[in-house]
Amino acid sequence: MLNLFPTLRKAGLATRRQWLQVAASAGLGLNLPGLLRAETAARLAPLSHPPTARNCIYIFLCGGPSQPDLWDLKPDAPAGIRSVFDPIETTVPGIRFGSLIPQIAQHADKLALIRSMTHTDNDHNGAIAHTLLGQLPARRGEPFVSRDDHPNLGAILHRLTGAVGDAPAWVVLPRPFTTYSPPHKGQSAGFLGPAFDPLTFNKETKGSLTAAPVKLESVQLPEGVDEARLRKRLTLAEALQADTHLAEASPTVRRMHDSYAKAVNLVATSQTNRAFDLSREPDRIRDRYGRNEYGQSFLMARRLVEAGVRTVNVFWTFFDTKGCQFNLWDNHGVPNDVCGIDGQMTGVQQLTHQYCTPSFDRSFSALLEDLHERGLLDETLVVVAGEFGRTPKINATNGRDHWAPCYTQLLAGGGIRGGQVYGASDRQGAYVKDSPVTPDDFAATILHAFGLSPEMAIEDPQGRPVRISTGTPVTALF
């Protein structure tokens, strides 16, 4: 497990017995530093309107998916712009997708496509920060997480709507998104502090297409601590607690006590712990999602929202079996080997490789199907985003380059009306023709689904109110 900011605040004064009590709890052998210290906010915000969503699965296709080949084909455009992939019919008359995603096409009735996404930054770093933060960072040119960042949507939802029972409020799968770098902005609670940071899986950075398990080691009992030893340690902790007046302890000690109590519950008894165990799923379900880190992450996301986790982020990038990373959705085409896979690869070969659209078609369609069949889609907002799209013009390596002026993102469930297209691109898909939507507006739309208006405020460390969003929600989608 990776804690983006593993620093503990200095504790206030406490008696020796209070510290001994905390130490006894710590002796349970748990490894949940910082991230599970988050407690439900004491004062939750009054909602500005009735919410339509209870949970959110936010899927980020790292690198920039190709809207001219997936969601916004221009079959009448000239050669060199027109996709080499044929358009196919979907379950919604008048909406056609690319032939790369036939299984997703069968769920178009559940999707809302925003074909008029737009911003001005064709650089990965700046565009990622803008997208994941839902607004421009305070300091342009600083792409990586910082404690003074604006909070990510997961942290805002945690702060203003609270956690659900003993479930973590926000989880990141299968690992934080990096590019041989620190984590990019938009993956922390920023100025809200580490109590609102996500619980992060940290799958080994290799073997994305293998069946290596996606699991959270820190919710397992450590080696040498069986159930009997756990019970003895719990008995000791309870005995020390019996004659300790916790109500008189400092706020820091109370927070630590509550955090360890939640950690114990997560390891020993909680429904969420069971949700982390994919072996509980039938083989046919695991096969349907796909036996790779993408399918397992999507399946884990479904299990977590079913257990009450408010927000789940899934970051889709690729690591080969030796640990080489490639942002597979960044389909320029390359003159040399990509992580030693298949030799030289054109943009078309990148899109059709198993690590890209075939796995996405399988896993995403499985997620939509599963959420719908379980009655979870109505209350679960599903988001598919990238930092930008791809150029209308096909380049010399039969790929497409970065393009932020006009691209497509998806929403489903959580009160969103399926089977619709919002906005439009021009004839060649180069620029927005109708109803532009910025990353700020997109983030405000997600918050709107949870009953939160962009004018609502959270306090920064100096106690000053800060708007949760700089955008305007696209209410026509609901």
pLDDT for 338-386, tens place per residue? 787 777 789 999 999 999 999 999 999 999 999 999 999 999 999 999 9
Residue 28: predicted pLDDT: 38
Check if the beta carbon of residue 128 is closer than 8 Å to that of residue 141.
Answer: no
Q: Is the bond preceding 174 in cis, omega lying within 30 degrees of 0? A: yes
Task: Specify the higher pLDDT residue, 62 or 269.
Answer: 62
pLDDT in tens, 187-244: 999 999 999 999 999 899 999 999 999 987 655 556 676 656 766 766 766 666 665 5
Bridge partners for 117 per DSSP:
407, 437
pLDDT in tens, 64-75: 999 999 999 999
Provide the phi-psi class of 222: left if phi over 0, else alpha when psi is between -120 and 50, else beta.
beta
pLDDT in tens, 191-207: 999 999 999 998 999 99
**Cβ-proximal residues to 193 (8 Å cutoff; 6+ apart), any chain:** 147, 461
Residue whose pair of structure tokens reads 């036939």 in the numeric block: 102
What domains are there in the chain, each with its CATH number?
A: 45-222+286-477 (3.40.720.10)
Provide the phi-psi class of 172: left if phi over 0, else alpha when psi is between -120 and 50, else beta.
beta
Is the pLDDT at 112 greater than 80? The verdict is yes
Residue 6: predicted pLDDT: 31
How would DSSP label each residue in 405-436?
SSEEEEEESTTPPSSEEESEE-TTSSSEEE--
Q: What pTM value is reported for the model?
A: 0.85
> What is the band of 41 on the pLDDT scale with cuts at 50, 70, 90?
very low
Q: Please state, in angstroms and as integers, the Cα–Cα distance from residue 84 to each residue in 61, 283, 351, 417, following that order.
A: 21, 36, 11, 31
Pairing between β-strand 55-61 and β-strand 311-316 as defined by DSSP bridges: parallel
Is the pLDDT at 441 greater than 90? The verdict is yes
User: Which range (23-32, 42-51, 118-127) has the least confidence?
Assistant: 23-32
CA distance 266 to 287: 28
| DSSP SS3 for 225 | coil
> 370 φ, ψ to 5°?
-65, -45
Section 132-154 average pLDDT: 95
Q: How far apart are the first and last CA of the chain?
A: 37
